Amino acid sequence: MTSSPTPAHARISIIGAGPGGLTCARILQRHGIEATVYDRDPAGDARDQGGSLDLHEEDGQLALREAGLLERFHALARFEGQEMRSMDPAGRVLAHHVPEEGEKRKPEIDRGRLRDLLLGSLPEGTVQWGRTLASVSGTAGGPRTLTFTDGTVTEADLVIGADGAFSRVRPAVSPAAPHYTGVGFVEAWFDDLDDAHPEVAELVGQGSAHAADGERGLFAQRNGGGHLRVYIMRKVPLDWMAAAGLRPDDTDGIRAHLAREYASWSPPLLGLITDNDGPYVDRPLFALPVPHTWEHTPGVTLLGDAAHLMPPLGVGVNLAMLDACDLALALARAATIDDAVRDYEKTMLARSSEIARTLEGGAEFLLEVPDGNGPPDHAHA
């Protein structure tokens, strides 16, 4: 068997330019270790990056501190976004958290701004865009071969799968596949919130608002630039839209269908479903088996959703960035790639298994009637 190379002399490939992959590359480079990130997007600004994220002091912000980016994050973050309201379907506020002056426990930042922050910290050329991974091959005794859909091939001493729920790297270490949780989100958008939708702005406040009745729920969340995203949450079959005779582009039909389902809710809350700007986006929730672990496989490892896809209860991006931090620091401190990955996986798999057990079935928790003790943690799609 070929001996494992030292991290400083290894060819390290990170698949996925999300928060986890970029954080890992940044911290590695701060310790003098080069890594190349491959991403299927044609460019960093090629698509909408999704909604707002709350980065926690104990994980997401910790990783940014190791990346040397915490002060820049604080300059970009929306601390007022920590405000949270919990309501019943009649629109009565059951709990209301207003952040204290100087509170930094979990401020908000848009995914796009976080990605820009991380990308801007990396030397040009670190990320190779338009590179969609097809497969990882090779044996434990030698380098891994990455084959991309454009026909190109490269070799790596370590492949880090940071490529999300339907990871192309995961099959190299685990046969596990995500399963549908039985809960789906439909995403709706509001633009120019304060001027064009003042009633909605007043209802949601400066942060987010949640309501549920046991079978369905809503999670509305302020984003930067006057935007709002609403996640309409329901227990539905995976093919609910086709079964209702609807198409993804049938905005009026989807609006009418959802309005009927939420007809008993108060008019202001119903407005979060019916008064949106633009189309709806169907986002079924998937999760990996609990616990998801694997036998150590030299030359390959996973982080973030590729390793431990869970219901969106505010832990996903934070865990991904903490994974990235732990893996990068393990590589900076270890004598060999293999030693580093073993140390990282020992910590990460134990942590993620414990959290996954706690959150198992948590997608339905989003639909539970609020008890007045406070809203659930964020439901980020």
Which residue, 255, 286, 317, sits at the end of a domain? 286
Task: Report pLDDT for 364.
Answer: 80
- Say if residue 53 is exposed, middle or buried (CB neighbours under 10 Å; 0-12, 13-18, 19+): buried
Q: Is 157 annotated to bind ligand?
A: no
- β pairing state of 36-38 and 127-128: parallel
Domain assignment present for residue 378? The answer is no
Q: How confident is the model at residue 1 (pLDDT cuts 50, 70, 90)?
A: very low
Domain-located, residue 379 = no
Residues 122 and 191 in one domain: no
Kindly tell me if the per-residue pLDDT of 196 is higher than 90. yes
Contact 71, 61 (CB under 8 A): no
What is the SS3 assignment for 6?
coil
CATH code assigned at 195: 3.30.9.30
The angle, 0 to 180 degrees and rounded to 10, between the axes of the packed helices 251-261 and 267-274 is 160
Is residue 140 very low, low, confident or very high in pLDDT (cuts 50, 70, 90)?
Answer: confident
Tokens 């406070």, residue located: 374
Determine the average pLDDT of the residues in 58-64. 96
User: Span 89-103, mean pLDDT?
Assistant: 91
* Residue whose token pair is 């991006």: 317
Identify whether residues 185 and 165 lie together within a single domain. Answer: no
Range of the domain at 188: 180-286
Asked if residue 262 and residue 164 are part of one domain, the reply reads no
Residue 185 lies in a domain: yes
Q: pLDDT band at residue 49, thresholds of 50, 70 and 90?
A: low
The pLDDT value recorded for residue 46 is 72
Q: Is 54 annotated as belonging to a binding site?
A: yes
* CA–CA distance, 349 with 323 (Å, rounded to integer): 10
Q: Model confidence at 2, in pLDDT bands (50, 70, 90)?
A: low
Does some domain include residue 375? no
Are both 33 and 173 inside the same structural domain?
A: yes
The answer on 70 and 135 residing in a single domain is yes
Residues 57 and 115 in one domain: yes
At position 266, the amino acid (one-letter code) is: S
Beta bridge partners of 230: 188, 220
116 known member of a binding site: no
pLDDT for res 378: 47
The per-residue pLDDT for 23 is 98
- Is the model's pLDDT at 311 over the cut of 90? no
Ranges of H-type helices in the chain: 19-30, 60-66, 70-76, 111-120, 193-196, 198-204, 240-243, 251-261, 267-274, 305-308, 316-333, 337-359, 362-365
Instruction: Give yes or no: residues 268 and 293 share one domain.
Output: no
* Residues 245 and 342 both lie in one domain: no
Average of pLDDT values for 180-205?
95
Residue 373 DSSP symbol = S
Confidence at residue 101, expressed as pLDDT on a 0 to 100 scale: 87
118 lies in some domain:
yes
User: Which of 220, 255, 286 delimits the end of a domain?
Assistant: 286
Q: Is the pLDDT at 87 greater than 80, yes or no? A: yes
* The predicted structure's pLDDT at residue 283: 95
Stretch 221-244: mean pLDDT: 96
pTM to 2 decimals? 0.93
Structural domain includes residue 371? no
Name the residue with tokens 């989100």.
185
Pick from 235, 260, 286: which residue ends a domain?
286
Higher-confidence residue of 378 and 10: namely 10
Is position 335 within any domain? yes
pLDDT tens-digit series, residues 252-292: 999 999 999 999 999 999 999 999 999 999 999 999 999 99
Are residues 335 and 237 located together in one domain of the fold?
no
Let me know whether 41 and 188 are in one domain.
no
Tens-digit pLDDT profile for residues 323-354? 999 999 999 999 999 999 999 999 999 999 99
The CA-to-CA distance between both ends of the chain, in Å, stands at 43
pLDDT at 381 exceeding the cut of 50? no
Q: What is the pLDDT of residue 366?
A: 83
Same domain, 340 and 217: no
Q: Is residue 38 within 8 Å of 12, Cβ to Cβ?
A: no
In angstroms, what CA-CA distances link 269 with 84, 90, 243, 275?
15, 8, 26, 10
Q: Which residue has the tokens 């104990």?
A: 58
- The DSSP secondary-structure symbol of 370 reads P
Whether 69 has a pLDDT exceeding 80, the answer reads: yes
Distance from C-alpha of 295 to C-alpha of 94, rounded to nearest angstrom: 46
d(CA 34, CA 122): 11
Question: The domain spanning residue 57 has which CATH number?
Answer: 3.50.50.60
Confirm or deny that 47 is annotated as ligand binding.
yes
Give domain status of residue 330, yes or no: yes
Strand partners, 78: 108
In percent, the amount of the chain with pLDDT more than 70 equals: 96
d(CA 356, CA 354): 6
For residue 223, give the amino acid letter.
Answer: N
Domain count, the chain: 2
Beta partners for residue 286, in sequence order: 180
Find where tokens 């227990």 sit. Answer: 235
d(CA 288, CA 234): 20
Instruction: Judge if 315 and 280 occupy the same domain.
Output: no
Which segment of 35-49, 56-70, 124-138, 324-338 scores lowest on mean pLDDT? 35-49
Question: Does residue 226 carry a pLDDT above 90?
Answer: yes
